[in-house]
Chain A
């Protein structure tokens, strides 16, 4: 049935070629063809935010993004953020605050938070809550996640 099409992607700083079915989403291509697994299929409808990745530095839903549309753009996932100081700080505060429970939403939340701190290095609590409102967490009640982002921002501002 599905004919495969060759795409070249810039994924986490590397040029990769991948043959993926026509109409495949970035989430499907990353998971099924490239085994990039940090982005999760929580709803496949763009609501839950568990598949959030960065394209040209902006957070997008990988489940709503066609792979074909990613040619010529830089795609970044959690796997490619090992050297990022802001992400490392956010991660440390999430670990310490109790903002991680089951972890299924965590990558998406951290990527949304990373983008927020890029735009607004000293966000108010309300701004953090707004920035994370597209990422559903069913475990924590959000309090410890918002705490983590705020305290990471404070540390980075010093």
Chain B
């Protein structure tokens, strides 16, 4: 019973124990807050990337694209695992707006209804929300050829991160120019360019800075013409696929890959079959690897930093326990003189370490939870009072600071804290257990 009572008394009566609890609580608090925010940011970023491309992408890195996609799209649509498919043209071009604005853009040719079904594209449309069929019809004149620009090209954000939309689509015309490529990858004609004026019909939001600043969506047929990919053997650059409910991206992608392999073999005799050689089938994570990898690296770096924080905590606990054991050698001697075994002494101090870890973890998690609950209110208050924002919403595509607590992450942090305490206390506890009673009880050895 003393193995329960005594650690509790050590905890309550010794200020140094409270120091150990505080160190653990602080580490747990920092880890829970930062990991929740970081986990939220990474999760949000991944989700945006997922919504942007769908579950799986059949694509070629070549700007020439690949042909014979129509039948493959039909075969994909016949698969029970597939919910929606969108064939997409991707190329690079220039836009000019009178003589005021010009710049590079990524041209994306889509069928808006299909693309809206296969990806999260529909949710980011402002003026034609729920009416994708007329997406490329500018509200001011439906007969003009429409285009949809990434929102950051058209509208600014206020300090709260809200876009300052015009009530109606602004009447902007853009000359979009690109270099049409033949199926062999050469320019259609020496010095030839394709150029056409499009009128802004809507804006698209994806939450991905590069996309919202650089993308312009055109009707697929228009994009194919502009990029030299029209004609008898129309070409595209990618097919975005959304899987049915219950099908994981990994297993669905495997099925699509098998289908593509068969399809490619069956078409091996066709004149443009060589264009299919560069086509790969990837799930969304692999396809967006270049974007996601940076964030994941940051998350990994953060975890490494927290391992260092953990090591510091272990060291603090070690020092505190070393001091406590040094102060408590008399108690160890007393207990051993009464028949307590070395294991009993280890259990006593091990229990104390557990208690320190448990209290520290509980306090840290409670503090972290309370802080995360109020983090956005706190940031709003700081913004109002001192004009301070953690992330400038006019620059970053972040709404609220992520604060959704992941019970598994919190649990892992709490359990790690308890283990860190046990680990930190291991050596002093072992030393305490090895103490001989006469070493500690006798004022004068002889």
A binds B: no
